[in-house]
């Protein structure tokens, strides 16, 4: 019978140490990635909310503008109602008739 | 050779372990030793992932071109809190905070708060703008924390406030929609957790399925209303002018697409500013257009007429003998002027608003048929997406006395909500079919998908022919009677009817000098794009709705024609020509 024992180039203990070290670094790296991702997510979501808030301010101005225009008393501004109205057919907006 | 290899491996291992140790020590200092400091710093810079920061979906108006405009959204800013245990100079802290805030506690209250040494967190000011909050935070005052805050903001202030609703704490400690669409769609608008802050890897390891598709993502989102902001503004403005002019108790109005039930504007005066609820009573927060019932008066006559035509008991050219007054079950029913018209076509019942004629139609129709039609029109709630909808009061139609049917024929003795009335009259404009009135057309889910809501349920009530015949009568009223014929629009057919009802006394009888005015109209008459319902409750110094509401109605008609560029449906020759009106 031949001896079939397999000879490793280094000890099993060293291999285990190496594996543990690699796993540890990978774990820590993963934590770092997760934390960075969470930070970016929070930052992004807050930035979205801030932008929405800024847009809402602009929309508020638009709605206030609509209200202002609606409230204008044209007779007080010097305009008078027309004596007669003429309803005519709208012309085509293009040159193609 | 082997020894050299092993030593290199060991050196690399040592380096890796050292690096791991260094990172671990660094993490220990960041997370354990200085953890609290970093948490505070993060809170000051960004929103924390905790549940303390208010989050909620948006509500949008839809402009005529499809552009979405925020009706309810979130504003972001800062709140200021103090820690009485660590605050060093209360006077200096008060001065610094007061300089940045408009909603600061009084000086005495602030100093009293700083004396509560058994507490570590007392909020002293809210809703600081971004700039002011950051400026205050930069001063780094001991014992003063400047923290992120979000709150509900309504960019339109009073615009559609009663339809949009409010968010408040109510009786619990949770902010939730309490009235209007905020309440109806609270399940969609509310945010049950930190969906924006979810930890991707934690979710990946714990529940892959939930990461990809969650029940929350399929439910939570923003809502898109059918309310057109400029139309809503116009309606509100007109109602303010109307109410002030006649010192009414209240006025209201609805503008709807009669073919779909999409409500473009729904308003009531008095209204309130949704951003300032400090002096608002509970009664003002409700929506009377769905919660309150009224006796509407003569705008009920077109429904009676259409029912009679649909049942075949009368034809458009049928005549009847109008005696001016009749007695039914010992009660006396008279025309508005008590004058007899003699034998006239039934068209005049609509055009001259004749109570005796409406009562005659009810008698011709018979109690069973009358009850069947009116139960179909008003027996069910409309199903509008607003909370606390009331049902109609139709008790008189379950009694055998004919007087109950005769008075119901001209809108007295039965009471319905404005939205119910709008839905029923919409059937005349929509070929005899009732649609479901609604304010929200779609939900925009967090996943980005826009889900259109299904409002296609309809209730056929009248034949299209009967609806058209009544429409012709209502159009003739506008062309010949309204403002003595001056209201006619040569290029646009408009159908309308006025209504004046006597208000009930607390004892159950009727006032002789207090009225409820209503007005309904739609256009173009034979292919309507808009139906308008207006009312004003207890106007002073006027008797008839034609005096109070016609100007408001016509203003809205002309505005809508211009704003939506509604093409003419009559009055212009085929090729060229013009129509003139004085």
- The whole-angstrom distance between A36's CA and the closest CA on chain B is 11
pLDDT exceeds cutoff 90 at B364: yes
Distance of CA B33 to the CA centre of its chain: 53
Specify whether the CB–CB gap between B333 and B325 falls below 8 A: yes
| Tokens found for residue B371 | 């009850």
Between B183 and A8, the more confident residue is: B183
Interface check A46 vs B, CB under 8 A: yes
Q: Quick check: A37 and B233 CB within 8 A?
A: no
Report the C-alpha dihedral over residues B158, B550, B261, A69, rounded to 10 degrees: -40
Whole-number average pLDDT of chain A: 82
Contacts of B234 in chain A (CB under 8 A): 70
Size of interface A-B (CB pairs under 8 A): 133
pLDDT band at B570 (very low <50, low <70, confident <90, very high): confident
pLDDT exceeds cutoff 60 at B49: no
Contacts of B49 in chain A (CB under 8 A): 38, 42
Q: Please name which of B151, B152, B149 lies closest in space to residue B78, comparing C-alpha atoms.
A: B149
What is residue B216's predicted lDDT score, i.e. its pLDDT? 67
- The whole-angstrom distance between A10's CA and the closest CA on chain B is 7
Q: Please name which of B493, B373, B477 lies closest in space to residue B434, comparing C-alpha atoms.
A: B373
What is residue A8's predicted lDDT score, i.e. its pLDDT? 64
pLDDT band at B339 (very low <50, low <70, confident <90, very high): very high
Interface check A23 vs B, CB under 8 A: no
Q: Which residues contact B117 (CB under 8 A, 6 or more apart)?
A: B84, B85
List, in sequence order, the alpha helices (H) in B270-384.
282-285, 288-291, 301-311, 347-351, 355-365, 367-378
Q: Please name which of B368, B226, B358, B245 lies closest in space to residue B298, comparing C-alpha atoms.
A: B358
What are the C-alpha distances in Å from A63 to residues B127, B168, B437, B562?
22, 24, 25, 19
- The whole-angstrom distance between B464's CA and the closest CA on chain A is 30
Long-range Cβ pairs for the range B503-509 (8 Å, 24+):
B503/B537, B503/B538, B504/B295
Q: Please name which of B536, B565, B558, B560 lies closest in space to residue B548, comparing C-alpha atoms.
A: B536
Beta strands B250-256 and B263-269, pairing class: antiparallel
Specify whether the CB–CB gap between B458 and B434 falls below 8 A: yes
Query: pLDDT tens digits, residue range B435-468?
Result: 999 999 999 988 778 899 999 999 999 999 999 9
Distance CA B93, CA B91 (A): 5
pLDDT exceeds cutoff 50 at A97: no
**Ramachandran angles phi, psi of B252, nearest 5°:** -150, 165
pLDDT exceeds cutoff 60 at B360: yes
Contacts of B576 in chain A (CB under 8 A): 89
Q: Which residues contact B413 (CB under 8 A, 6 or more apart)?
A: B295, B396, B403, B404, B407
Query: Nearest by CB to A62, which of B16, B69, B202?
Result: B69
Q: Quick check: B47 and A63 CB within 8 A?
A: no
Q: Quick check: A87 and B27 CB within 8 A?
A: no
Q: Quick check: B73 and A52 CB within 8 A?
A: yes
| Tokens found for residue B547 | 């005096």
- The whole-angstrom distance between A91's CA and the closest CA on chain B is 10
What is residue B215's predicted lDDT score, i.e. its pLDDT? 64
Contacts of A85 in chain B (CB under 8 A): 580-581
Query: Nearest by CB to B229, which of A41, A63, A85?
Result: A63
Q: Is B288 left (phi over 0), alpha (psi -120 to 50) or beta?
A: alpha
pLDDT band at A45 (very low <50, low <70, confident <90, very high): confident
Distance CA B329, CA B430 (A): 36
3-state secondary structure of B516: strand
Distance of CA B225 to the CA centre of its chain: 9
Contacts of A37 in chain B (CB under 8 A): 199-201
Distance of CA B237 to the CA centre of its chain: 16
Closest CA in chain B for residue A40: B197
Q: Please name which of B385, B460, B465 lies closest in space to residue B424, comparing C-alpha atoms.
A: B460
Compute the C-alpha angle B165/B56/B180, nearest 5°.
15
Q: Please name which of B375, B382, B379, B369 lies closest in space to residue B458, comparing C-alpha atoms.
A: B382
Specify whether the CB–CB gap between B133 and B78 falls below 8 A: yes
Q: Please name which of B469, B479, B501 lies closest in space to residue B554, comparing C-alpha atoms.
A: B479
Give just the sign of the alpha carbon dihedral B387, B388, B394, B398: positive
**DSSP string computed for B451-492:** EE------EE-S-HHHHHHHHHHHHHIIIIIGGGGTT-BTTB
Give the end-to-end CA distance of chain A in Å, rounded to a whole number: 105
Closest CA in chain B for residue A13: B10
Query: pLDDT tens digits, residue range B190-230?
Result: 887 554 445 555 555 555 555 555 666 677 899 999 999 99
Query: Nearest by CB to B229, which of A31, A33, A66?
Result: A66
Query: Nearest by CB to B230, which of A42, A66, A86?
Result: A66
pLDDT band at B244 (very low <50, low <70, confident <90, very high): very high
Kindly report the number of other CB atoms within 10 A of residue B66's CB atom. 7
Could you tell me the maximum CA-CA distance found in chain B, to the nearest angstrom?
128
Contacts of B230 in chain A (CB under 8 A): 66, 70
Whole-number average pLDDT of chain B: 89
Kindly report the number of other CB atoms within 10 A of residue B502's CB atom. 16
| Tokens found for residue B298 | 């003569």
Q: What is the pTM of this model?
A: 0.83
Query: Nearest by CB to B74, which of A21, A28, A53?
Result: A53
What is residue B201's predicted lDDT score, i.e. its pLDDT? 55
pLDDT band at B50 (very low <50, low <70, confident <90, very high): very low
Closest CA in chain A for residue B50: A42
B16: exposed, middle or buried (Cβ count in 10 Å: 0-12, 13-18, 19+): middle
Query: pLDDT tens digits, residue range B269-299?
Result: 999 999 988 888 888 888 999 999 999 999 9
Closest CA in chain B for residue A41: B197
pLDDT exceeds cutoff 50 at B48: no
Distance CA B305, CA B410 (A): 10
Q: Please name which of B332, B333, B409 lies closest in space to residue B366, comparing C-alpha atoms.
A: B409
Q: Report, in this order, helix, strand and coil percent for chain B, each rounded to 5.
A: 40, 25, 35
pLDDT exceeds cutoff 90 at B580: no
Q: Quick check: B6 and A59 CB within 8 A?
A: no
Distance CA B110, CA B144 (A): 12
What is residue B374's predicted lDDT score, i.e. its pLDDT? 97
What is residue B195's predicted lDDT score, i.e. its pLDDT? 47
Could you tell me the maximum CA-CA distance found in chain A, to the nearest angstrom?
123
List, in sequence order, the alpha helices (H) in B130-276.
130-138, 161-164, 180-184, 186-189, 200-206, 208-212, 215-219, 229-246
Distance CA B191, CA B196 (A): 10
Distance CA B339, CA B357 (A): 12
Contacts of A71 in chain B (CB under 8 A): 237
| Tokens found for residue B374 | 């009116």
What is residue B211's predicted lDDT score, i.e. its pLDDT? 53
Beta strands B250-256 and B68-82, pairing class: unpaired
Compute the C-alpha angle B563/B567/B572, nearest 5°.
135
Q: Quick check: A50 and B17 CB within 8 A?
A: no
- The whole-angstrom distance between B233's CA and the closest CA on chain A is 6
Average of per-residue pLDDT across B520-528: 96
Give just the sign of the alpha carbon dihedral B418, B420, B426, B428: negative
Specify whether the CB–CB gap between B132 and B81 falls below 8 A: no
- The whole-angstrom distance between B448's CA and the closest CA on chain A is 15
Give just the sign of the alpha carbon dihedral B131, B132, B138, B144: negative
Q: For the ranges A46-60, B27-41, B59-73, B89-103, which has the lowest average pLDDT?
A: B27-41
């Amino acid at each position: 019978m031949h001896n079939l024992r397999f000879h490793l180039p280094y000890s099993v203990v060293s291999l285990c140490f190496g594996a543990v070290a690699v796993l540890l670094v990978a774990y820590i790296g993963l934590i770092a990635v997760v934390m960075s991702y969470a930070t970016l997510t929070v930052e992004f979501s807050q930035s979205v909310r801030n932008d929405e808030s800024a847009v809402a301010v602009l929309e508020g101005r638009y709605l206030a503008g609509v209200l202002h225009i609606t409230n204008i008393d044209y007779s007080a501004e010097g305009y008078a109602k027309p004596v007669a109205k003429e309803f005519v057919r709208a012309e085509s907006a293009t040159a193609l008739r | 050779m082997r020894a050299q290899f092993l030593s290199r491996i060991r050196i690399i291992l040592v380096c890796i372990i050292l690096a791991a140790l260094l990172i671990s020590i660094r993490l220990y200092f960041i997370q354990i030793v200085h953890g609290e400091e970093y948490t505070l710093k993060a809170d000051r810079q960004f929103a924390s992932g905790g549940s303390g920061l208010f989050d909620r979906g948006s509500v949008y108006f839809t402009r005529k071109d499809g552009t979405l405009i925020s009706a309810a959204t979130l504003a972001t800013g800062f709140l200021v809190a103090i820690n009485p245990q660590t605050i060093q100079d209360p006077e200096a802290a008060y001065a610094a905070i007061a300089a940045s805030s408009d909603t600061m506690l009084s000086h005495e209250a602030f100093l009293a708060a700083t004396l509560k040494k058994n507490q570590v967190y007392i909020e002293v000011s809210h809703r600081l703008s971004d700039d002011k909050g950051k400026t205050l935070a930069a001063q780094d005052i001991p014992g003063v924390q400047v923290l992120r805050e979000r709150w509900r903001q309504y960019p339109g202030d009073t615009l559609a406030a009663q339809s949009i609703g409010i968010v408040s704490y109510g009786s619990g400690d949770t902010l939730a929609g309490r009235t209007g669409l905020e309440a109806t769609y609270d399940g969609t608008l509310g945010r049950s957790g930190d969906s924006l802050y979810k930890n991707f890897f934690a979710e990946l390891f714990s529940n892959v399925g939930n990461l990809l598709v969650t029940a929350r993502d399929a439910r939570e989102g923003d809502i898109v209303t059918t309310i057109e902001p400029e139309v809503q503004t116009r309606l509100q403005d007109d109602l303010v002018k109307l109410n002030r002019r006649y010192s009414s108790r209240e006025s209201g109005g609805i503008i709807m697409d009669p073919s779909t039930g999409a409500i473009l504007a729904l308003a009531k005066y008095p209204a309130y500013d949704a951003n300032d609820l400090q002096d608002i009573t509970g009664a003002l927060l409700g929506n009377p257009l769905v919660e309150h019932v009224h006796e509407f008066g003569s705008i009920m006559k077109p429904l009676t007429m259409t029912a009679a035509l649909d049942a075949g008991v009368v034809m458009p050219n049928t005549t009847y003998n109008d005696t001016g007054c009749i007695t039914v079950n010992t009660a006396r029913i008279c025309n508005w002027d008590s004058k007899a018209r003699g034998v006239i076509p039934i068209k005049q019942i609509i055009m001259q608003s004749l109570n005796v004629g409406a009562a005659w139609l009810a008698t011709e129709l018979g109690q069973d048929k009358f009850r069947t039609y009116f139960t179909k029109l008003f027996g069910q709630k409309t199903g509008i997406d607003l909370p606390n909808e009331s049902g109609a009061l139709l008790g008189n139609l379950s009694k055998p006395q004919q007087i109950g049917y005769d008075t119901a024929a001209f809108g007295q003795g039965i009471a319905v909500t404005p939205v119910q009335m709008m839905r029923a009259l919409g059937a005349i404009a929509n070929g005899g079919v009732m649609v479901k009135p609604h304010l929200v057309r779609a939900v925009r889910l967090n996943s980005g998908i826009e889900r259109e809501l299904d409002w296609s349920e309809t209730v056929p009530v009248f034949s299209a022919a009967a609806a058209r015949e009544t429409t012709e009568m209502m159009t003739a009223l506008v062309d010949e009677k309204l403002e003595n014929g001056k209201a006619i629009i040569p290029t646009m057919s408009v159908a309308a009817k006025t209504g004046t009802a006597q208000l009930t006394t607390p004892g159950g009888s009727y006032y002789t000098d207090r009225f409820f005015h209503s007005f309904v109209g739609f256009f173009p008459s034979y292919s309507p794009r808009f139906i308008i319902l207006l009312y004003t409750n207890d106007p002073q110094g006027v008797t008839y709705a034609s005096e109070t509401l016609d100007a408001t109605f016509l203003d809205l008609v002309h505005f809508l024609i211009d704003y939506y560029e509604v093409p003419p449906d009559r009055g212009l020759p085929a090729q060229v020509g013009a129509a003139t009106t004085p």
